[in-house]
Amino acid sequence: MLWLLATWGARLRVGAGLRVRHRPATGLSRQASDLPRNQPPSPDVVARPVGISSMMRLPVQASPEGLDAAFVGVPLDIGTSNRPGIFFFFLPSAGGDHTITYPILQAMAEKHGPVGLLHVDAHTDTTDKALGEKLYHGATFRRCVDEGLLDCKRVVQIGIRGSAATLEPYRYNRSQGFRVVLAEDCWFKSLVPLMAEVRQQMGGRPLYISFDIDALDPAYAPGTGTPEIAGLTPSQALEIIRGCQGLNVVGCDLVEVSPQYDISGNTALLAANLLFEMLCALPRVTSA
């Protein structure tokens, strides 16, 4: 089931400035539909616990007709190799496990040709196969390379770390021309200078952003299937996403959030905020 979240009205503005159109949706009160912007309804009008638990409390729509942008939820975890129960949040896509990025990039490449990729993750996801399976969340971008979906000279991976049974994926990435930025090269520093280099590398051609929540240190985001210590901080995550503003971002996702492994709810809160930041990084969004 795909859930498309948008706004009521003829042609209204999202909070950050993106304009969205569609036919009236159901799920919230008539009074809420009279809001001038695509934003959560006022608690003076609709009680906070009331209605569908949607991203940003936006109305739910079954069709993408007339939309410029929507959050798409894809609750799929059949490709995970450790703790299951992963849930996706966007186009922005919010996912399940990282396998979901593979068909999304197939669609992107069909429209735009091979795309650049900004991949934020603890893992390279370029293992060839596991337990005999060539399609799982640790092989997503290997399959994308196999099918020519990526412009490999414009692939950057940030936050890579953790133990590994073999160095083959690292050698493979570099042989393909990927830029691999290890987590330890991000410790104790701002990533604004790095993103200036990424911006120059990506140029004005189509770019896809894929953000695995386990790129962040589990102190901030423990609710994920394959946590790795010594990761990125939330402020660095914001620097990465905000560093994409002005680029030709054609799509993005945030994957591998598994809320049941974080009773505090902080992982889901962080993921939702990062998705909002991704929405603000889309090309036609303007900020005050």
Binding residues for Mn(2+): 98, 121, 123, 125, 212, 214
Residues at the binding site are 98, 121, 123, 125, 212, 214
> Which pair of tokens denotes residue 224?
């994920």
Q: How many residues does the chain have?
A: 288
> Which pair of tokens denotes residue 7?
């706004």
* Distance from the first to the final alpha carbon of the chain: 35
With contact defined as beta carbons under 8 Å apart, do 2 and 73 qualify? yes
With contact defined as beta carbons under 8 Å apart, do 197 and 52 qualify? no
Give CA–CA dist 43/185, Å, rounded. 44
| Residue 183 DSSP code | G
With contact defined as beta carbons under 8 Å apart, do 117 and 100 qualify? no
DSSP string across 244-278? TTTS-EEEEEEE-B-GGG-TT-HHHHHHHHHHHHH
Residue in 129, 124, 214 with CA at minimum distance from that of residue 175:
124
